[in-house]
Amino acid sequence: MIAFADPPPAAAFEPRQPKGRSIEELTSTVSASRLGTWLQCRLKFHLRYVAGVLKAPSAALHVGKTVHAVLQQWSLARWRGSPLDGDAIGAVFEQAWGTPEGAVPIAWESEEEAASKANALAVIQTYLRETPIPLDEKPEGVEVSVEIDLASHGLPVLVGVLDLVRAGGRIVDFKTTGRTPDPKMVLHTTEVQTTGYALLYREATGQRESGIELHHLVKLKTPKLVVTEAGPATEQQVNRLFHLIDAYVDDLERRDPIPSPGMQCSMCEFLGECRVWQ
């Protein structure tokens, strides 16, 4: 039997807020999301994690966090053996949509909030209708925090939270997107995250994961669900992740956060700071 700890209580799903951290702290542990931001742009990483600049989330990010919070409660309820009905889902959704204490509220334009909210709810309803996960399937784990000390490889501690582990050791990660994802690109662009999850799962259970599922909730006018399946992480992927973590530590210790202008800038919340950076 898998020995995951109990999941967090029902109310503990408020998004964590960033705050400034020292380079020493940021190189003593590493997570897939920090690695992802660092890979996108060193300056963005610096502004978010080192300087701790707080920004209101974009509408897309707010929708993503709300969907994630609702699906977390949906998974937790199944873990407890009492699945949520439609009314309970609606109540969780309303609570998750609000701005958490201490967060910067979004400056919505006139009809924007109502439209985004309706879209988020439609995406969740589509997922609950089309999910491949049977309602009576008890998860192995939900929102499990795990860490693995990589000191024997000369690397920091890898930390992370597994959204959901299905029966039989299938790791599930929920994502929201505005476009229908291409499976090949999904496997490529999520490799840091999926390989990290695989290592964390192995650390927590002493077993190898049976596979990884990426559940993309696509925010089209008519929302849809696209599930991309990856096999267990390979040795080559693990080596690649270790090499990347090594480069991350070296780069942060150089303390030279250069910008990387590119396509990603259109979604970057730090464009204003970036334009006056020197």
CB of 46 to ligand SF4, least distance (A): 8
CB of 24 to ligand SF4, least distance (A): 23
Whichever of 249 and 274 has its CB closer to ligand SF4, that residue is 274
Whichever of 48 and 215 has its CB closer to ligand SF4, that residue is 48
Instruction: Check: CB of residue 41 under 8 Å from CB of residue 260.
Output: yes
Eight-state DSSP code of residue 133? S
Q: Rule CB under 6 A: say whether 261 interacts with ligand SF4.
A: yes
Eight-state DSSP code of residue 263? G
175 to 10, 65, 149, 178: CA distances (angstroms): 21, 9, 27, 10
Candidate residues 12, 135, 185, 271; the one interacting with ligand SF4 per rule CB under 6 A: 271
SS3 166: strand
CA distance linking residue 52 with residue 19, whole number of Å:
4
CB of 35 to ligand SF4, least distance (A): 15
Instruction: Check: CB of residue 158 under 8 Å from CB of residue 31.
Output: yes
CA distance linking residue 50 with residue 254, whole number of Å:
13
Site string for ligand SF4, 13-52 (x = CB under 6 A): ----------------------------x-xx--------
Q: Rule CB under 6 A: say whether 264 interacts with ligand SF4.
A: yes
Q: Rule CB under 6 A: say whether 274 interacts with ligand SF4.
A: yes
Whichever of 114 and 247 has its CB closer to ligand SF4, that residue is 247
Mark the segment that binds ligand SF4 (CB under 6 A) among 5-13, 150-158, 189-197, 255-263: 255-263
Residues facing 229 on adjacent strands = 213
154 to 52, 158, 219, 244: CA distances (angstroms): 27, 12, 42, 12
Candidate residues 76, 124, 192, 268; the one interacting with ligand SF4 per rule CB under 6 A: 268
Interface residue list for ligand SF4 (CB under 6 A): 41, 43-44, 259-261, 264-265, 268, 270-271, 274
